[in-house]
């Protein structure tokens, strides 16, 4: 029987405890999970693509069957290249649904061999998103517990040195 492989794409700017929760739960459904850190042409990321890849690798190093990749371009092209069976996406709220639903339908149109699987977050992460974490950290708020300690330290440093916007 072939291994089931899912792709979890995102910008991960920064990777949060909510992302990690989704990865752990995705590993219960799939044999392998490829985390695809995307270049962002629309968003102005706090961390470079290389920094984001490095942070995701650091915080997932203890997770078996997780691989971290960088990618540029269409998610479905990357999914096809990596021979995944599903794209894993999180839905925190109804507001996420419309966008994610449209993306899933477009992805299916572009590559009908790859399904999109939606997971709800654990209750404690329902409100959590990277944009909120960045903004709280930017103004000096405590984001420990929302991001892994290694990520928290990098955010504090980025804002302390003024290299964060």
The predicted model scores a pTM of 0.92
Does 157 reside within a domain?
Answer: no
**CB neighbourhood size of 78 (10 A):** 20
> With contact defined as beta carbons under 8 Å apart, do 155 and 137 qualify?
yes
For the stretch 127-164, pLDDT in tens is 899 999 999 999 999 999 999 999 999 999 998 887 76
pLDDT at 42 over 80: no
**Is 35 among the domain residues?**
yes
Q: Are 143 and 133 in contact (CB under 8 A)?
A: yes
Structure tokens at 113: 């061999």
Helices (H), the chain: 17-29, 49-60, 75-82, 94-110, 130-138, 149-160
> pLDDT exceeding 70 applies to what percent of the chain?
97
For residue 159, what are the CA distances in angstroms to 18, 44, 147? 22, 15, 15
- From the list 11, 91, 89, the residue with the least C-alpha distance to 44 is 11
Band of residue 35 on the pLDDT scale cut at 50, 70, 90? very high
> Is the residue at 143 inside a domain?
no
Give 137: exposed, middle or buried? Use CB within 10 Å, 0-12, 13-18, 19+. buried
- Strand ranges of the sheet holding 86-90, from the earlier edge strand across to the other edge: 66-71, 32-38, 5-10, 86-90, 115-119
**Inside any domain, residue 145:** no
Confidence band for 40, pLDDT divided at 50, 70 and 90 = confident
pLDDT at 126 over 70: yes
* Interval 10-25: pLDDT, tens: 999 999 999 999 999 9
SS3 162: coil
The span from the CA of 8 to the CA of 35, in Å, is: 5
Residue 39 placed within a domain: yes
Domain that includes residue 83, residue range: 5-127
**Domains in the chain, number:** 1
**Helix, strand, or coil (residue 28):** helix
State residue 58's pLDDT score: 97
pLDDT of the residue at 144: 92
Query: Does residue 165 have a pLDDT over 70?
Result: no
Look up the CATH number of the domain holding residue 47: 3.40.50.620
Distances (CA, A) of 76 to 15, 60, 114: 22, 23, 8
pLDDT for position 164: 66
164 within domain boundaries: no
Domain assignment present for 51: yes
Q: Which two tokens stand for residue 111?
A: 């590559």
Per the prediction, the chain carries an average pLDDT of 92
Read off the pLDDT band of 1 (50, 70, 90): low
Asked if the structure places residue 57 within a domain, the reply is: yes
User: How confident is the model over 66-116, as pLDDT tens digits?
Assistant: 999 999 999 999 999 999 989 999 998 777 888 889 999 999 999 999 999
């Amino acid at each position: 029987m072939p291994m089931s492989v899912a792709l979890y794409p995102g910008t991960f700017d920064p990777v949060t405890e909510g992302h990690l929760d989704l990865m752990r739960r995705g590993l219960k459904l799939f044999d392998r999970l490829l985390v695809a850190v995307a270049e962002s042409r629309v968003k102005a990321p706090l961390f470079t693509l290389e920094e984001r890849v490095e942070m995701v690798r650091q915080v997932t190093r203890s997770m078996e069957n997780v691989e971290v990749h960088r990618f540029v371009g269409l998610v479905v092209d990357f999914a096809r290249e990596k021979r995944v069976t599903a794209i894993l996406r999180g839905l925190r709220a109804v507001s996420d649904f419309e966008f994610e639903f449209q993306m899933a339908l477009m992805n299916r149109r572009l590559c009908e061999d790859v399904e999109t699987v939606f997971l709800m977050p654990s209750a404690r992460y329902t409100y959590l998103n990277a944009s909120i974490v960045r903004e709280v950290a930017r103004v000096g708020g405590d984001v420990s517990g929302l991001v892994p300690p290694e990520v928290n330290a990098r955010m504090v440093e980025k804002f302390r040195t003024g290299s964060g916007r």
